[in-house]
């Protein structure tokens, strides 16, 4: 019995390894070929022939300094947009969710909550065209550029991420006992004080979940930044920069794959650090959303 069990484990592990090889193989190709020259890649994309560290350094330096890619600027824009949007979404989202769940017997709160939930089925495609014209008009009107500007993109992400954030947070806050707040109120704590000192610290686990979900989406999003920031502007995010770079270097695989490697590296590093949280957060978000 234990003999068959052990051989079963071995067979399953071998199947697992084969699938893992298939899944990780493209990553291997990206890394390998960013160490090679274009001619060596064309000669054989899977051979080690011609791979050298000095070639990698030269590929990286020509990609990083490229005017279509601008790696450091793109990394900066992506980081800035993602981090600020995530902070604002977590803060505004939990504020709104708290108000909604503490007034859940009142009609206006129910209506707001229902609108948020219903809006989750709205695809970006149906709002993207009027969004651009609205943002352009509003920007011209108030004298603050909303297109081709980082604050404009952050504003849009707060709007688009709001519904899902409020939905998940409201579900959690409903489970926080109201007694806690009453006790704080009796001790003379103001409503805003209660929220920031009592409720917000309790929300840490669920805020982690929404931050991971929103972060994965905002960091990798292509359509919104390409439309709002423009493919040629200096505020491109990383996915837009990769697209612009590929468009200008068709079939230059040594440079394209190096650019791809640079673009995926930050996310891989974050995943290696917070692997458990990311995987749990993604599942929780899906199950609740």
Partner 1 sequence: MKTKAQGNSALSFILLIAGIVLLVAALAMDVMGTKFAGRGAMLIFGIIAFFAGLYLIPTMKHHRKIVYFIFLFPLLFTFAVTVIIPLVLGIGYSFTDWTGVKITKFVGLANYMSMFKDPAFIYSILITFVFVIINMVLINVIGFCLALLCTSSIKASGFFRAAYFLPNLIGGIVLGYIWQFVFNNVLIGMTNHISLLSQSKTALLCIVVVYLWQYGGYIMLIYITGLTQVPGDVLEAANIDGATPMQTLFQIKIPMIASTITICTFLTLTSAFKQFDVNMALTNGAGSVPNFMGAYLSNGTQMLALNIYNTAIAKNSYAVGQAKAVLFFIILAVVSLIQVRISNSKEVEL
- Please report whether residue 147 would count as binding partner 1 according to CB under 8 A: no
- Please report whether residue 128 would count as binding partner 1 according to CB under 8 A: yes
Q: Which of 2, 186, 256, 258 binds partner 1 (CB under 8 A)?
A: 256
Q: Please give the Cα distance from 60 to 240 (Å, whole number).
A: 18
Interface stretch with partner 1, choices 53-61, 129-137, 170-178, 203-211 (CB under 8 A): 129-137
Q: How far is the CB of 276 from partner 1 (least distance, A)?
A: 9
Q: Where are the alpha helices (DSSP H) in the chain?
A: 2-33, 38-43, 53-64, 71-102, 107-119, 124-142, 150-173, 178-186, 191-194, 200-202, 204-220, 223-228, 238-248, 253-273, 275-288
Q: Please give the Cα distance from 60 to 26 (Å, whole number).
A: 19
- Please report whether residue 114 would count as binding partner 1 according to CB under 8 A: no
Q: Which residues of 49-61 are buried (b: 16+ CB within 10 A; e: fewer)?
A: ebbeeebbeebbe
Residues touching partner 1: how many (CB under 8 A)? 91
Q: How far is the CB of 117 from partner 1 (least distance, A)?
A: 10
Q: Please give the Cα distance from 164 to 141 (Å, whole number).
A: 30
Instruction: Identify residues 179-198 at the interface with partner 1 (CB under 8 A).
Output: 190-192, 195
- Please report whether residue 232 would count as binding partner 1 according to CB under 8 A: no
Burial class (CB within 10 angstroms; exposed 0-12, middle 13-18, buried 19+) of 269? exposed
Q: Please give the Cα distance from 126 to 143 (Å, whole number).
A: 27
Instruction: Identify residues 9-28 at the interface with partner 1 (CB under 8 A).
Output: 9, 12-13, 15-16, 19-20, 23-24, 26-27
**Is the CB of 129 or the CB of 180 nearer to partner 1?**
129
- Please report whether residue 169 would count as binding partner 1 according to CB under 8 A: no
Q: Which of 51, 83, 99, 274 binds partner 1 (CB under 8 A)?
A: 99
- Please report whether residue 219 would count as binding partner 1 according to CB under 8 A: yes
């Amino acid at each position: 019995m234990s003999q068959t069990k052990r051989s079963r484990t071995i067979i399953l592990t071998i199947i697992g390894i084969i699938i893992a090889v298939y899944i990780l193989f493209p990553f291997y190709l990206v890394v390998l070929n960013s160490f090679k020259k274009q001619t060596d890649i064309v000669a054989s994309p899977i051979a080690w022939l011609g791979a050298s560290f000095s070639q990698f350094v030269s590929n990286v330096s020509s990609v990083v300094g490229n005017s279509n890619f601008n790696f450091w600027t793109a990394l900066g824009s992506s980081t800035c947009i993602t981090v600020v949007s995530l902070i604002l979404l977590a803060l505004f989202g939990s504020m709104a969710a708290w108000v909604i769940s503490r007034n859940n017997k009142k009609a206006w709160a129910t209506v707001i909550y229902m609108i948020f939930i219903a809006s989750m089925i709205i695809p970006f495609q149906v709002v993207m065209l009027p969004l651009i014209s609205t943002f352009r008009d509003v920007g011209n009107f108030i004298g603050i550029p909303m297109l081709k500007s980082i604050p404009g993109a952050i504003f849009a992400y707060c709007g688009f991420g709001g519904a899902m954030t409020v939905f998940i947070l409201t579900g959690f806050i409903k489970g926080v006992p109201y007694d806690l707040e009453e006790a704080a109120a009796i001790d003379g704590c103001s409503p805003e004080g209660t929220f920031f000192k009592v409720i917000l610290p309790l929300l840490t686990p669920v805020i982690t979940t929404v931050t991971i979900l929103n972060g994965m989406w905002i960091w990798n999003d292509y359509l919104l930044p390409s439309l709002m920031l423009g493919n040629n502007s200096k505020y491109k995010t990383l996915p837009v920069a990769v697209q612009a770079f590929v468009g200008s270097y068709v079939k230059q695989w040594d440079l394209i794959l190096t650019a791809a490697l640079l673009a995926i590296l930050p996310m891989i590093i974050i995943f290696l650090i917070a692997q458990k949280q990311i995987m749990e957060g993604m599942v929780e978000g899906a199950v609740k959303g």
